[in-house]
């Protein structure tokens, strides 16, 4: 079951029957030791149909956001975070200092990725343009909060993926509001403008029970001022569902905002992910990102600097001990959200 929220405090509760996102999607066998027969659904990255040049928006943020935000609101945004008690800090590399990626396991089969045509990149550095900062308010009059989010392939070409706790309190709490996505945010610059929300979907398991297995959300974004949808403007990331917690050569990208970071640059961690104990569905990676990185994409592999295959989104960080990020891989609830009205 998926719960949805649109502006003006109208909530729509709908039961979504599971279906495969496209009948032609590729599938493979998951590597998880506990259930080796779980099918993996894969959607390829999608190219932008209207590639744009790297141009800072000429509109003021206040105008661009429909009067929701000012530059000062974004500067003072409070990072949203959840923690988990686990068991040495890992040094982060900025996203634009990407190390070479090793070849994936030959046993994993993927449809070939589609590269964007005339794919632009910011001139100062290589910033993943499909990943950005998500601003919101917990109530209409509260201070601005911030998470991370990424554009994902969908039928409507307007979906971004983030964490459930970045859109809703969880456990029968309340919906947040005033969502604004700033892709490729870099040190105050908004090279691809700002995108206003249209509606938001979260699994019932999160909104009703606050279960971290369901700490995911999809936000539908309005077209920009020229009428172009976000996925057509930027491209969109492919995705995988029901993937194993055990993955190699993973890249996690987000905008950590707590010290020693300030939320002005995207950062990435690189490495392998593991299952967090026998009775947990969490995957984890040793990674020192701080608050603000919640909702950031976990890429199983990259097909370009801006596009890849997402199999999870950052849910929590370690409360003590080794610095880690946690996420439960995307499941059927993800495709249900993509198919929700």
Above pLDDT 70, what percent of the chain? 72
Q: What is the pTM of this model?
A: 0.76
Beta bridge partners of 203: 2
| pLDDT at residue 83, as a whole number | 57
DSSP string for 205-234 = HHHTT--GGG--EEEEEPP-TTS--HHHHH
pLDDT digits (tens, 9 = 90+) for 238-268: 999 999 999 999 999 999 988 888 999 999 9
Average pLDDT value for residue range 285-305: 92
- Rounded to an integer, the average pLDDT of 138-147 is 92
For the chain, give the number of residues. 341
Distance CA 325, CA 259 (A): 16
Q: What is the residue-averaged pLDDT of the chain?
A: 77
| Among candidate residues 98, 157, 50, 11, the one with its CA nearest the CA of residue 299 | 98
Q: List the domain range (segments joined by +) for residue 282.
A: 2-339
What is the 8-class DSSP label of residue 184?
T
* Residue 27 and residue 40 in contact, taking contact as beta carbons nearer than 8 Å: yes
Q: How confident is the model at residue 122 (pLDDT cuts 50, 70, 90)?
A: very low
Q: How far apart are the first and last CA of the chain?
A: 12
* Residue 34 pLDDT greater than 80, yes or no: no
Backbone angles phi, psi at 111, to 5 degrees: -70, 145
Is 156 or 39 the better-scoring residue by pLDDT? Answer: 156
Neighbouring-strand partners of residue 131: 150
Q: Number of C-alpha atoms within 13 angstroms, CB side, residue 218?
A: 25
Q: What is the pLDDT of residue 130?
A: 95
For residue 76, the model assigns a pLDDT of 79
For the chain, the maximum distance between any two Cα atoms, rounded to a whole number of angstroms, is: 52
pLDDT band per the 50, 70, 90 thresholds, residue 110: very low
Backbone angles phi, psi at 334, to 5 degrees: -70, -50
Model confidence at 287, in pLDDT bands (50, 70, 90)?
very high
CA pair distance 178, 135, nearest whole angstrom: 8
pLDDT tens for 54-104 read 333 445 776 777 778 888 888 778 887 655 554 333 334 444 333 333 344
Q: How confident is the model at residue 68, as a pLDDT?
A: 83
pLDDT for res 286: 94
108-135: average pLDDT = 54
What is the CATH number for 234? 2.40.10.120
Residue of higher predicted confidence among 16 and 244: 244
Tens digit of each residue's pLDDT (9 = 90 or more) over 165-175: 999 999 989 99
Q: How many domains does the chain contain in total? A: 1
Give the bridge partners for 197, in sequence order: 221
The conformational region for residue 200 under phi > 0 = left, psi -120 to 50 = alpha, else beta, is: beta
Tokens for 123? 């001139």
- Do residues 308 and 238 lie in contact, with contact meaning Cβ atoms separated by under 8 Å? yes
Are 224 and 195 in contact by the 8 Å Cβ rule? The answer is yes
CA distances from 125 to 93, 120, 133, 199, 325 (A): 13, 11, 17, 32, 25
Task: Tell which residue, 94, 9, 69, has the closest CA to residue 289.
Answer: 94
């Amino acid at each position: 079951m998926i719960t949805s929220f649109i502006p003006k405090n109208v909530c729509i509760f709908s039961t979504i029957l599971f279906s495969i996102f496209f009948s032609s999607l590729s599938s493979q066998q998951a590597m998880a030791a506990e259930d080796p027969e779980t099918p993996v659904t894969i959607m390829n990255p999608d190219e932008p149909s209207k590639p744009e040049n790297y141009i800072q928006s000429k509109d003021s943020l206040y105008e661009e956001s429909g009067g929701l935000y000012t530059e000062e609101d974004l500067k003072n945004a409070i990072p949203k975070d959840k923690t988990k008690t686990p068991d040495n800090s890992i040094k982060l590399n900025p996203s634009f200092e990407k190390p070479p990626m090793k070849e994936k396991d030959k046993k994993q089969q993927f449809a070939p990725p589609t590269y964007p045509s005339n794919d632009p990149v910011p001139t100062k550095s290589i910033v993943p343009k499909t990943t950005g900062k998500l601003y919101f308010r917990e109530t209409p009059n509260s201070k601005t909060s911030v998470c991370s989010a990424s554009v994902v392939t969908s039928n409507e070409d307007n979906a971004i993926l983030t964490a459930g706790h970045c859109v809703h309190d969880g456990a029968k709490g309340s919906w947040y509001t005033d969502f604004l996505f700033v892709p490729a945010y870099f040190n105050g610059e908004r090279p691809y403008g700002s995108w206003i929300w249209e509606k938001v979907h979260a699994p019932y398991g999160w909104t009703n029970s606050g279960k971290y297995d369901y700490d995911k959300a999809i936000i539908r974004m309005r077209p920009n001022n020229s009428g172009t949808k976000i996925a057509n403007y930027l491209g969109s990331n492919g995705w995988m569902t029901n993937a194993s917690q055990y993955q190699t050569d993973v890249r996690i990208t987000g905008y950590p905002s707590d010290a020693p970071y300030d939320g002005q640059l995207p950062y990435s961690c690189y490495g392998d992910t593991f299952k967090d104990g026998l009775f947990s569905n969490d995957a984890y990676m040793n990674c020192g990102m701080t608050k603000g990185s919640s909702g950031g994409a976990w890429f199983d592999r990259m097909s370009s600097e801006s596009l890849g295959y997402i199999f999870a989104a950052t849910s929590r960080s370690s409360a003590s001990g080794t610095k880690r990020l946690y996420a439960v891989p995307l499941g059927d609830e993800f495709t249900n959200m993509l198919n929700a009205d």
